[in-house]
Amino acid sequence: MDNIRNFAIIAHIDHGKSTLADRLMEITGTIHYHAEQLLDSHPVSRERGITIRLAPVTMHYKNYILNLIDTPGHVDFSYEVERSLAACEGAILLVDATQGVQAQTLSNFQKAKRLDLKIIPVINKIDMPNAQISETLDELGQLDKFDKILHISAKTGQGIEGLLNKIISDIPAPKSTNNLTRALIFSSQYDPQRGTIAYVRVFDGEIKKGDQLFFVATGLHAQGMQLGHFMPQMTACDKLSAGEVGYIITNIKDPSLVKIGDTISTNTNSSSLPGYKDPKPMVYVSVFPVDQNDYYLLEDALKKLKLNDAAITFVTTSSKALGRGFRCGFLGHLHAEVSQERLEKDFDLSIISTSPTVDYQNNREPWVLATIIVPQNYLGTIIQLCEERRGISKDMSYHGNHVTITYELPMAEIITDFFDQLKSKSSGYASIDYELLEYRDFDSVNLDILINHEPVDAMSQVMEKSRAVEYGRKIVEKLKEAIPRAQFPFPIQASINGEIIARADVAAFRKDVIAKLYGGDRTRKDKLLEAQKKGKKKLKSIGRVELPGDIFLKVFKT
Residue among 282, 286, 278, 279 nearest 328 (CA)? 286
CATH number for the region 182-265 comes to: 2.40.30.10
What integer pLDDT is reported at residue 48 of this predicted model?
A: 45
- Tell me, what's the pLDDT at 240? 95
CATH architecture of 283-353: 2-Layer Sandwich (3.30)
Q: Between vectors from CA 121 to CA 103 and to CA 232, what angle results, nearest 5°?
A: 95
Which residue ranges in the chain fall short of pLDDT 50? 40-46, 48-52, 73, 513, 536-543, 558
Q: Which fold has domain 364-441?
A: Alpha-Beta Plaits (3.30.70)
Nearest residue to 468 (alpha-carbon basis) of 498, 429, 501, 438 = 501
Residue pLDDT, tens place only, 126-171 = 999 999 999 999 989 888 889 899 999 999 999 999 999 999 999 9
pLDDT at 515: 54
Reply yes or no: is the peptide bond before residue 232 cis, omega within 30 of 0.
yes
- The span from the CA of 445 to the CA of 462, in Å, is 6
Residue boundaries of the structural domains of the chain: 4-170, 182-265, 283-353, 364-441, 445-556
Residue 360, pLDDT score: 85
pLDDT at 534: 56
Phi/psi-derived region of residue 427, left when phi > 0, alpha when psi is between -120 and 50, beta in every other case: left
Name the DSSP class of 159: T
Residue 366 contacts residue 282 (beta carbons within 8 Å): yes
CB-side neighbour CA atoms (13 Å) of 405: 22
pLDDT value of position 511? 56
4-170, CATH topology level: Rossmann fold (3.40.50)
Whole-prediction pTM: 0.71
pLDDT of residue 128: 93
CA distances from 344 to 292, 301, 338 (A): 15, 10, 10
d(CA 70, CA 56): 6
- Specify the 3-state DSSP secondary structure of 322: coil
Report CA torsion sign: 306, 311, 315, 317. Answer: negative
Residue 78: per-residue pLDDT: 64
- Chain mean position to CA 462: 24
- DSSP-derived secondary structure for 55-77: EEEEEEETTEEEEEEE---SGGG
pLDDT of residue 541: 39
pLDDT in tens, 489-536: 889 999 998 899 999 998 876 655 455 665 556 676 666 666 656 554
> Same CATH topology for 4-170 and 445-556?
no
226, containing H or E segment:
strand 226-230
CATH number for 445-556: choose from 3.30.2020.30, 3.30.70.2570, 3.40.50.720, 3.40.50.1220.
Answer: 3.30.70.2570
Q: How far is CA 25 from CA 73, 139, 159, in A?
A: 20, 29, 14
The backbone torsions φ and ψ at residue 345, rounded to the nearest 5 degrees and listed phi first, read: -90, -40
